């Protein structure tokens, strides 16, 4: 019944333009968004059909079929044959179809409605595997679907963290058991690759992997800007130098280069900091017995956040807090003073709070960690007249990776951040394209993991207006000040429009 193919179907019937020859930038973006939502609908249709095949072929004989090539294998073989994919790939399609039908029906509806990107489905299916067959699986399905229906944006890491938070909360014991098994099965391997190369891999606790990565990156950075190697090639050479104890140096060839050789031992002796955020009650929880921390802990508590990795279970958080080299720095929930001598720079307390709140770069879809991101004044700070520009406050600061910070600063992209009208103490953010299309910010951040962050408050920085002096005639404002004023006016316009009209169209994912 589909012999004519998709190209012969009516684009108007699918809400798509017949041609894009004369389309504007905004119309092209609308098409991208609508087509992406359509991918979710088509993927949902494919899984629904695969589940129906299972009901027709497998279900009638599932309880009694003991053949080597049983009905499930033959069902997957049919899918593999008609799609020209491997048997393993077809098994995966059939497996996900059954999970959506039986374990995650509400998540399946989000896929149908274009609220879930097909690429994110694998994350949800695999990371909810622990709840299969449990009496709370329906609650997990409902909570994930409710989160997906928020009118905000998702990145790969934020969606993964959201799912992990929900699973950890419902069954910490199962999470702990799987983590213990994963640690016991940690491994190391070498795999031959083409062209005389080989790949080296290892599995280890996340915090150990972060330590290794940080040391490798620190050594790889000891080169000048003229080093001919790519960043990944330098990291590969740095890892070899650290393991073998050989020297590592810049390959620019300049006799005056200050990085001709670096002793790996000097990097190994450098202190590496891994940042973890957790609530005090979980960190200070008493172990249930004297068994090793891997095997027993209080089942209460909330998940933590390991910067550079993501959400970790309460048990894992306690393990990290119990390490002999762990340093605890409580985050005071009372008002914290800014540095009064420099209202442009945030205090250490404010910087820590913003990074813990944002977790990742706040640009929609970005996965870069906030701990290594730039702290950006959303409304630009006015260095000439601090009283007139964006202030150094929690509401006006957010984390952006260097790329998105640069994009916001030097192009016509416009971001905004403002108090959440429905949840006091929280903030919401948006990004507006140069054509005026506003995209909501992250749907999941530190507030969802640690709601008490909404109770943290800060004093406003002390800002003194510039002294009035008699000067020669000048421009009313500098060119940069004019740009900042225009941006402030655009933000104000966007906020008025947002408050005046309720936008019912959710983002595609």
Q: Is 388:484 a contact under the CB 8 Å cutoff?
A: no
134 is a domain residue: yes
Section 199-222 average pLDDT? 91
User: Residue 489: what pLDDT?
Assistant: 79
Sheet holding 310-312, edge to edge: 276-277, 304-306, 310-312
The DSSP 8-state label assigned to residue 285 in this structure reads P
Q: Is 145:164 a contact under the CB 8 Å cutoff?
A: no
Radius of gyration for the alpha carbons in the chain, expressed in angstroms and rounded: 27
Section 471-498 average pLDDT? 74
Final residue belonging to a domain, choices 121, 149, 177: 149
Higher-pLDDT residue of 132 and 509 is 132
Residue 280 has pLDDT above 90, yes or no: no
Residue 28 has pLDDT above 60, yes or no: yes
Task: Assign 290 a pLDDT band (cuts: 50, 70, 90).
Answer: very low
pLDDT tens digits along 305-359: 999 899 999 989 988 988 888 888 887 766 666 666 678 888 888 999 999 999 9
Instruction: Please give the Cα distance from 305 to 446 (Å, whole number).
Output: 8
Residue 58 has pLDDT above 80, yes or no: yes
The segment with the largest mean pLDDT, out of 135-149, 270-284, 372-386, is: 135-149
292 is a domain residue: no
Final residue belonging to a domain, choices 149, 172, 196: 149
Section 493-499 average pLDDT? 79
User: Would you state the structure tokens that stand for residue 91, as one six-digit string?
Assistant: 């098994």
User: Residue 255: what pLDDT?
Assistant: 87
Final residue belonging to a domain, choices 128, 149, 170: 149
405 is a domain residue: yes
Task: Assign 399 a pLDDT band (cuts: 50, 70, 90).
Answer: very high
Residue 42 has pLDDT above 80, yes or no: yes
Q: Is 399:354 a contact under the CB 8 Å cutoff?
A: yes
Higher-pLDDT residue of 158 and 502 is 158
CA distances from 218 to 242, 249, 252 (A): 11, 13, 18
91 is a domain residue: yes
The DSSP 8-state label assigned to residue 383 in this structure reads S
260 is a domain residue: no
Torsion of CA 286, 287, 288, 291, to 10 degrees: -160
Residue 472 has pLDDT above 60, yes or no: no
Q: Is 408:380 a contact under the CB 8 Å cutoff?
A: no
User: Residue 327: what pLDDT?
Assistant: 87
Instruction: Please give the Cα distance from 204 to 181 (Å, whole number).
Output: 12
214 is a domain residue: no
Residue 507 has pLDDT above 80, yes or no: no
Identify the CA nearest to 373 among candidates 487, 275, 439, 507.
Answer: 275
Count how many domains the chain has.
2
Instruction: Please give the Cα distance from 226 to 122 (Å, whole number).
Output: 41
Instruction: Please give the Cα distance from 22 to 363 (Å, whole number).
Output: 30
355 is a domain residue: yes
- What residues make up the domain containing 488? 348-466+473-500
Cβ partners under 8 Å of residue 253, min gap 6: none
The burial class, CB within 10 Å (0-12 / 13-18 / 19+), for 327 is exposed
Identify the CA nearest to 103 among candidates 73, 75, 126.
Answer: 126
Residue 505 has pLDDT above 60, yes or no: no
Over the range 365-400, which residues count as b (16 or more CB within 10 Å of their CB) and which as e? bbebbbbebbbbbbbbbbeeebebbbbbbbebbbbb
374 is a domain residue: yes
């Amino acid at each position: 019944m589909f012999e004519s193919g998709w190209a012969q179907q009516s684009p108007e019937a699918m809400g798509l333009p017949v041609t894009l020859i004369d389309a504007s930038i905004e119309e092209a973006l609308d098409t991208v968004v609508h087509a992406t939502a359509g991918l979710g609908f088509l993927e949902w249709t494919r899984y629904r059909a695969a589940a129906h095949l299972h009901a027709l072929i497998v279900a009638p004989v599932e309880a009694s079929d003991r053949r080597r090539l049983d009905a499930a294998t033959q069902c997957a073989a049919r899918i593999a044959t008609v799609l020209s994919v491997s048997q393993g790939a077809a098994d995966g399609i059939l497996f996900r179809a059954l999970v959506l039908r039986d374990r995650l029906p509400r998540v399946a509806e989000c896929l149908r409605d274009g609220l879930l990107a097909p690429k994110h489905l694998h994350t949800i299916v695999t990371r909810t595997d622990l709840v299969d067959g449990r009496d709370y699986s329906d609650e997990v399905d409902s909570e994930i679907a409710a989160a997906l229906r928020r009118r905000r944006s998702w990145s790969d890491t934020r969606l993964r963290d959201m799912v992990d938070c929900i699973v950890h909360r419902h069954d910490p014991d199962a999470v702990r058991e799987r983590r213990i098994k994963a640690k016991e099965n940690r491994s190391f391997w070498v795999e031959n690759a083409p062209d005389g190369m080989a790949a080296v891999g290892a599995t280890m606790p996340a915090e150990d992997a972060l330590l290794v990565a940080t040391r490798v990156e620190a050594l790889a950075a000891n080169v000048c800007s003229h080093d001919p190697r790519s960043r990944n090639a330098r990291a590969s050479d740095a890892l070899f130098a650290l393991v073998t104890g050989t020297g590592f140096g810049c390959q620019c060839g300049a006799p005056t280069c200050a990085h001709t050789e670096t002793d790996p031992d000097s990097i190994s002796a450098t202190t590496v900091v891994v940042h973890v955020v957790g609530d005090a009650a979980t960190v200070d929880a008493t172990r249930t017995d004297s068994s090793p921390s891997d095997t027993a802990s209080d089942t209460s508590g909330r998940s933590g956040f390991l910067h550079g990795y993501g959400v970790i279970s309460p048990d894992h958080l306690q393990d990290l807090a119990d390490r002999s080299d762990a340093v605890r720095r409580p985050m005071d929930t009372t008002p914290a003073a800014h540095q009064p001598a420099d209202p442009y720079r945030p205090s250490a307390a404010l910087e820590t709070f913003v990074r813990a709140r944002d977790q990742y770069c706040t640009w929609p879809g970005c996965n870069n960690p906030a701990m290594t991101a730039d702290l950006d004044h959303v409304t630009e700070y006015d260095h000439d007249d601090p009283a007139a520009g964006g202030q150094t406050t929690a509401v006006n600061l957010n984390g952006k990776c260097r790329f998105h910070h640069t994009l916001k600063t030097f192009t016509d992209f416009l971001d905004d951040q403002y108090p959440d009208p429905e949840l006091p103490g929280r903030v919401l953010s948006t990004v507006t394209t140069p054509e005026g299309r506003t995209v909501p910010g992250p749907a999941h951040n530190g507030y969802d993991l640690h709601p008490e962050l909404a109770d943290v408050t800060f004093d406003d920085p002390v800002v003194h207006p510039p002294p009035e002096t008699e000067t020669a005639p000048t421009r009313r404002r500098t060119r940069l000040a004019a740009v900042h004023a225009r941006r402030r006016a655009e933000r104000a316009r966007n906020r008025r429009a947002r408050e005046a009209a309720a936008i019912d169209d959710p983002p595609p994912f």
